[in-house]
Structure 1
Amino acid sequence: MDDQAHAARTIWNCLHDWWTMLPKEKRSLGAADAAIRQARKEIDWLAALPAQAAQAVLKTYFQAWKNCWDGRADAPNFKARFRSAMSVDIPQGRDLNITRVHRRWGMVNIPKIGRVRFRWTRNLPVGKHANTHNRITGSRLVKDALGWHIAFRVQALEPKPEPHAGPEVGIDVGVSLPLALSDGDTKAHGAWLTAKERAKLLRLEQRAAHRKTFRKPGERTSNRLQAAYDQIQGLRARAKRRHLDWQHRTTTEIAAKYSVIVVEDLAITNMVKSAKGTVESPGNNVAQKSGLNRSISEEAWGRTVELLTYKTARNGGTLHKVPAPGTSQRCSACGFTTPGSRESQAVFVCKNPDCGWSGNADHNAAQNVLHLYRMGLALIPAAGRAVVRRASRVKPATAR
């Protein structure tokens, strides 16, 4: 599997170089297909990747450019060996030949590898349960620090969802309180690692830092240091998996309850920029800003919004984004925006002498987020950017 993943990554990089160097009039899907076939014949270790998986790399690369031209993503780039996830695509479901051994395990056929046992975690349309409208169309092998995993692509016929009849809600994301809802509900979580696992992680990081001092500049990483790095990545991957599980459960609950979900349009990339500055003008509170950046990245706000987007549409609801500036400083009771009203991370006190309302700062921000939507200030993406729309509410979209 490692050999196939490295071959797939190399084909992607060679295809990217071929695409960027050729003139526009010579770029075509047929020419790229011929180049891949020739490379697999001339380079022996590229033949470790099945021909169908190589074709899947080509289709994925062209789809990446289409997404870039449509403004949905950035341009595809080079995949580095140590910074990209190892993965192999199996585009045809009929080659998998999936069988269920018993309740917890199943067997799947992987091209050029053979029969492999996998953990059965979800119901799959195999055997008598498979038909034209509910069948497996392919799979993807992905490797992380915990090992290899297989994800199956399932084609299913779902009924068109009815319009959701639930209430509207605004959501404010944060660090100390992950999700605060405008109706007073909160969605929080604890530490992703236990106390014993956190102590082990600290011990491994100290061990890796100590072993790194013995490595000379330009010298390859020793086996001991690499073993420490692997254990650290394993613990972090376990924490990431627990976080993703919490996000899925929380977003599923929210999407099933509310018909309209309103979130802030946050520029997260700008929020996590370093405050180090330059030599001429060094930044202030660099250590504190670095810790805040790590906390923001760990919460993965963008992934939460992505999960809410498709789950809300699947349930017959809609998700909208509103401008973020001023939502944490505006008083939801009187509507005045005064500097310094948020006295702490959790307490909001209105500085308007005629109001003086006080309450939870996160819930106040969530109510302001919902207020902006009701005022018709929803942001609608257009050609890769967001524009303010002052109009009536958008009808619920249907899931495809």
Structure 2
Amino acid sequence: MEHRPGAASRVPSAGQIQVERLGHKWGRAKLPKLGWVRFRFSRPLGGQIRSATVSFKAGRWFVSFLVDDQAATPDGHAMANTAVGVDRGVRTAVVTSDGEFFDRPFITAGERVRCRRLQQRLARQKKGSTNRRKTIMAMAQIMSRVSNRRGDFCAKTAAHLVSKNALVALEDLRTRNMTASASGTVDAPGVNVVQKQGLNQAILDKGWHRLELALTNAARYTGTRVVKVYPAYTSQRCHACGFVTEGNRESQAVFVCKNPGCGNTDHADVNAAKNIKAAGQAVSACGDLGTGRSVKQEPGSRATGQAT
């Protein structure tokens, strides 16, 4: 197999795979063309092996097994009629309608400095050189640790949310479209390119899509239903009275309803999460409300549900 980042080989037949434990932490697997390979158990297999994938990432080899754990999705959640709305942000990764905040730094200050120096070194090195490959590998090792922390955060946050709630509502965010390049073309150059690059990096750093995948995966074990709702105006609408205006959100964190008869105040992200929860409950109760009606007329009117 090639020693290049992302190189992978899959063994789709369980009959070609043998796995033996050598101790508490170590084991070995017999794979076609590779023979017996020794590996470290990061977790118990916990089921019947269906396939195996050998991959190369950040200078290290990994073997992962697809297993059938015989677990069935429950017919209902243990805590029926519980629900939560989840607002994903660039300042705080996850804020819920219950007022919980989930966030953590995925890269340390030292790693950030190290990565910047490696990028500067890479710019000076000749393409195809041995030193350039070493620099790329060093950068990959740093980013691999960052990615592992992000995956751990998303998995733990998802497990916490689905264990407590029968319904989890998310905004239906098109992350790939939102992080598209703003550089434009030679004939039509982009505007605010630097600002857009910073926003794109912040969105990707918080792992919005990875959290969605983690929720969908974890929900299979608890019977939680994950629904996605139309995101427009969730940050501008007052949860208490439904009044919508851009002026309601005074800053990134402060929400003050400008309706003279209301005056509700809340953390802006918590208010948005409450709106997402209300829209998600509407979808759960009534099904898809369609995409042709204005969200201003009815909260969540363009929401779509996704059962898990």
Q: TM-score range by the shorter chain?
A: 0.7 to 0.9
The aligned counterpart of 2:108 is 194
The aligned counterpart of 2:297 is none
Do the aligned partners of 1:320 and 1:379 also contact (CA within 8 Å) in 2? Answer: no
The aligned counterpart of 1:290 is 197
The aligned counterpart of 1:375 is 282
Greater helix share, structure number: 1
The aligned counterpart of 1:307 is 214
- Give the partner amino acid of 1:103: H
Is 1:143 aligned to residue 56 of structure 2? yes
Q: 1:345 to 1:268 in 2, by over 3 A?
A: same
Do the aligned partners of 2:8 and 2:55 also contact (CA within 8 Å) in 1? Answer: yes
Deviations 1:18-68 (A, max 9, x none): xxxxxxxxxxxxxxxxxxxxxxxxxxxxxxxxxxxxxxxxxxxxxxxxxxx
Do the aligned partners of 2:168 and 2:280 also contact (CA within 8 Å) in 1? Answer: no
Is 1:98 aligned to residue 98 of structure 2? no
The aligned counterpart of 1:276 is 183
* CA distance, structure 1, for counterparts of residue 140 and residue 292 of structure 2: 40
- Give the partner amino acid of 1:144: K
Is 1:174 aligned to residue 81 of structure 2? no
The aligned counterpart of 2:136 is 229
Match of 2:247, SS state, is coil
Deviations 1:180-236 (A, max 9, x none): 10011111112x22232222212211111222xxx4xxxx52111121111111111
Is 1:122 aligned to residue 26 of structure 2? no
Give unmatched runs, 5+ long, in structure 2: 294-299
Do the aligned partners of 1:180 and 1:362 also contact (CA within 8 Å) in 2? Answer: yes
- Give the partner amino acid of 1:339: E
Q: 1:387 to 1:115 in 2, by over 3 A?
A: farther
Aligned with residue 245 of structure 1, among 146, 152, 166: 152
* CA distance, structure 1, for counterparts of residue 44 and residue 213 of structure 2: 24
Do the aligned partners of 1:380 and 1:387 also contact (CA within 8 Å) in 2? Answer: no
How far did 1:353 drift?
A: 2.0
- Give the partner amino acid of 1:172: D
1:1-400 superposed matches below 5 A: 1-2=1-2, 85-124=6-45, 134-164=47-77, 165-166=79-80, 167-190=82-105, 192-211=106-125, 215=126, 220-278=127-185, 282-376=189-283
Aligned pair count reads 298
Deviations 1:113-169 (A, max 9, x none): 2211101122235xxxxxxxx421221112211411111121232245141124111
Length-normalised TM-score, structure 2:
0.87
Length-normalised TM-score, structure 1:
0.68
- Give the partner amino acid of 1:318: R
Q: 1:279 to 1:248 in 2, by over 3 A?
A: same
How far did 1:174 drift?
A: 0.5
- Give the partner amino acid of 2:84: V
Is the radius of gyration larger for structure 1 or structure 2? Answer: 1
* CA distance, structure 1, for counterparts of residue 164 and residue 247 of structure 2: 34
Q: 1:155 to 1:375 in 2, by over 3 A?
A: closer
Do the aligned partners of 1:263 and 1:321 also contact (CA within 8 Å) in 2? Answer: yes
Give unmatched runs, 5+ long, in structure 1: 4-81, 126-133
The aligned counterpart of 1:75 is none
How far did 1:331 drift?
A: 0.7
* CA distance, structure 1, for counterparts of residue 16 and residue 151 of structure 2: 30
- Give the partner amino acid of 2:61: W
